[in-house]
Amino acid sequence: MSPTSYTEAFWTRIAALSQTLDRMTYYNLLDVPMDAPRKVVEAAYYRRARNIHPDRHAYERDPQRRRDLVRLYARFGEAFRILRDPELRKAYDAELAEGRVRLSNQAHNAHRLAQQAPDPRTESARKLLGRGYEMMRAGNYSGAAAQLRLAAQLEPDSKVIARAVEACSRGTDSPG
């Protein structure tokens, strides 16, 4: 779009959004319902971000307009990253229920640490998982199921073990 395509009404809306940004939830910002699936969140983000991307407004010389635009664009990106990640979204929804409109640094850090942690975490669970995989490859699904049940008892929140249990129940040695 050419510089003349963006009217004063556009810049007035950007300024108003920037002023209310700290009171807006990620859902309000992207204009999606709280139960919106990932595809709806992505479509809403791309629709909005395309129009306010700072590079599209490189011609704009007013420093306040540029600050408002950059601030708004950054918050759209933040909302997008949080709402499209199921774990971060769950943490955000919990904080939103407590009255926070942005995900806390504490929740971000907890998520980051969980992403870096090995799965399964304990050596015992890793050994049981390994034995379960070996037994599945050998076609011994009942033995594999026993190993995997033990591993799941040690680490009930392990996604890797849960996928292995599911693969074993399907009678396949592939967790995917």
pLDDT digits (tens, 9 = 90+) for 75-94: 999 999 999 999 899 999 99
- Residues 32-65: tens digit of each pLDDT: 999 999 999 999 999 999 989 999 998 999 999 9
Distance CA 125, CA 152 (A): 8
What is the chain's Cα-based Rg? 23
Q: pLDDT-based confidence at 172, cuts 50/70/90?
A: low
With residue 161 as reference, give the H or E element that holds it. helix 159-170
Residue 18 above 50 pLDDT?
yes
Output helix, strand, coil percentages for the chain, rounded to the nearest 5: 75, 0, 25
Query: What number of CA atoms fall less than 13 Å from residue 11's CA on the CB side?
Result: 15
What is the CA angle 36-37-38, rounded to 5?
120
Q: Span 3-116: which CATH code?
A: 1.10.287.110
Residues 6+ apart with CB under 8 A from 10: none
Residue 5 above 70 pLDDT?
no
Please say whether the beta carbons of 85 and 39 come within 8 A.
Answer: no
What is the model's pLDDT at position 118? 80
Residue 6 above 90 pLDDT?
no
Q: pLDDT-based confidence at 4, cuts 50/70/90?
A: very low
The domain ranges of the chain are: 3-116, 123-170
Task: Choose the weakest-confidence range: 94-98, 107-111, 152-156.
Answer: 107-111
- pTM of the full predicted structure? 0.66
Name the one residue in this structure whose structure tokens are 């009930």: 156
